[in-house]
Amino acid sequence: MPRNTVIKTRLRNGLTVVLKSVHTAPVASFWVWYRVGSRHERTGRTGSSHWVEHMQFKGTAAFPADSVERAVSRVGGMWNAMTWIDWTAYFETMPADQIDLALQLEADRMVNSRYTKKDVQSERTVIISERQGSENQPTFLLSEEVQAAAFRVHPYHHEVLGDQVDIETMTRADLYAHYRAHYVPNNAIVVAVGDFKTTPMLKRIRALFGAVPKRDDPGLFVRPEPNQRGERRVHLEGEGQTAYLQAAYHAPAATDPDFFPMIVLDSILAGASSFNLFGGGISNKTSRLYRALVLTELAAGFSGNLAATVDPYLYSITCAVRADSALQKVEAALDEEMDRAMATPPAEEELAKAKKQARAMFAYSAESVSNLGFWYGFAEILDEYTWFTTYLDRLDAVTAADVQRVAQLVLTAANRTVGHYIPNDG
């Protein structure tokens, strides 16, 4: 993929625009990213970013909810949105000749969403239902507790969905204020990828988004997490027959030079994974933890999760304990692998494998304009789109010594929170 074809500019109102033409299929993907996520929420209003995302589908005067939904679907388009700790993103992927609708819709709902009391009330029960569905999963309950124990001060402390009590008590005014404060052009990035010419696309974006007034920069809500001084442990009891273990280590932020060695470390320990929300991972049956946990018949399965985030977040390993095994055995085997990663640098073959896997997964993800749209916007949230375009080069530069050094920094017991889910029917 040529690297010189990305166009990036900033409009006078502060809106960042990233464009890339891709002419392989008659489709286009349009994204708007806002620098707002659960980390911007104060106590009592947790979950407001996610709820605001839901409300953004409730319509404006120009685009009532039903009519937009219909307009997007009628042409075969797909649209959705997602909220995470650092950001909220909206996208439409459409037949290329229909993409203008996405621009109109997104420019309009950046300022004109209605937030009627009735819609707020009906969405409250939908979100409670979404939370109850998540609570049906033991791994959700466990992650939520581990995350809360790992962050005492930093607002990464709470779940994106928010606490039940806040979902029950937040008002229309709370949600609308959150929307008005954060949905401003100087806090947003628009990305278009697909089968279009960039000059008319930029002109159209200027025409539609350029008129949205700049407002106060909401800024980041920053309360750095103090260094952890010793292992934290969480015990959770719940229904089911299966026990789960989660170990979560404070890990470098995406812009930290240590982040790329961390990607290689994750790949060696838990298998290659993609940050892309649309999947594209490969199997991990030759990873160190598969050999140590699954081939030894201690765990039925496991996953490693390294998140690329604005502030330092967590690197976590989650294991489902086999019915004929025990939590303590899984934890001991995990500890042994973490000790090994700290004690010895990885073999050159392991390093080479991690790099080739990343190259292949990049090639796969470039097949889809939605994937590319995700990547450019995500990289802009973290840093600049070049974070994505230079990703493979920076990964290539990682040495075995880098990996060991970062392992020694991250994988210590004092830097982690360990969670146990103990089933009542086990």
Please report, as residue ranges, which positions from 60 to 89 form the binding site for other proteins (by CB under 8 A): 65-66, 69-70, 72-78
Asked if 297 touches other proteins (CB under 8 A), the answer is yes
Asked if 26 touches other proteins (CB under 8 A), the answer is yes
Q: Phi, psi at residue 20, to the nearest 5°?
A: -145, 125
User: What is the closest distance, in whole angstroms, from the C-beta atom of residue 94 to other proteins in the complex?
Assistant: 8
Residue 404 DSSP one-character state: H
**Contact range with other proteins by CB under 8 A, out of 199-207, 237-245, 247-255, 396-404:** 237-245
CA distance 32 to 286: 38
- In the region spanning residues 240 to 279, those forming contacts with other proteins, defined by CB under 8 A, are 240-242, 271-272
CA distance 170 to 168: 6
Asked if 347 touches other proteins (CB under 8 A), the answer is no
Asked if 100 touches other proteins (CB under 8 A), the answer is no
Among 12, 356, 396, 413, interactor with other proteins by CB under 8 A: 356
CB 77 within 8 A of CB 30: no
Residue 306's nearest CA partner among 270, 343, 358, 333 is 270
CB 409 within 8 A of CB 258: yes
| Longest distance between any two alpha carbons in the chain, whole Å | 64
User: What is the closest distance, in whole angstroms, from the C-beta atom of residue 51 to other proteins in the complex?
Assistant: 13
- In the region spanning residues 170 to 209, those forming contacts with other proteins, defined by CB under 8 A, are 195
Bridge partners (DSSP) of residue 207 are: none
**Contact range with other proteins by CB under 8 A, out of 118-126, 144-152, 387-395, 411-419:** 118-126
Among 286, 328, 386, 408, interactor with other proteins by CB under 8 A: 286
Asked if 326 touches other proteins (CB under 8 A), the answer is no
CA distance 264 to 348: 12
What is the SS3 assignment for 185? helix
**Contact range with other proteins by CB under 8 A, out of 30-38, 205-213, 216-224, 290-298:** 290-298
Asked if 361 touches other proteins (CB under 8 A), the answer is yes
What is the SS3 assignment for 281? coil
CA distance 266 to 259: 10
- In the region spanning residues 372 to 411, those forming contacts with other proteins, defined by CB under 8 A, are none
Q: Phi, psi at residue 273, to the nearest 5°?
A: -140, 160
Among 5, 43, 116, 122, interactor with other proteins by CB under 8 A: 122
What is the SS3 assignment for 278? coil
In this complex, which beta carbon is closest to other proteins, that of residue 43 or of residue 137? 137
Among 5, 121, 344, 408, interactor with other proteins by CB under 8 A: 121
In this complex, which beta carbon is closest to other proteins, that of residue 120 or of residue 403? 120
User: What is the closest distance, in whole angstroms, from the C-beta atom of residue 130 to other proteins in the complex?
Assistant: 4
Encoded one letter per residue, x for contact with other proteins by CB under 8 A and - for no contact, window 124-163 reads: xxxxxxx-xx-xx-x-------------------------
CA distance 143 to 161: 13
In this complex, which beta carbon is closest to other proteins, that of residue 202 or of residue 366? 366
User: What is the closest distance, in whole angstroms, from the C-beta atom of residue 426 to other proteins in the complex?
Assistant: 9
Structure tokens at 313: 């977040």
Asked if 99 touches other proteins (CB under 8 A), the answer is no
Question: Pairing mode, if any, of strands 7-10 and 16-21?
Answer: antiparallel
What is the SS3 string spanning 334-369? HHHHHHHHHHCCCCHHHHHHHHHHHHHHHHHHCCCH
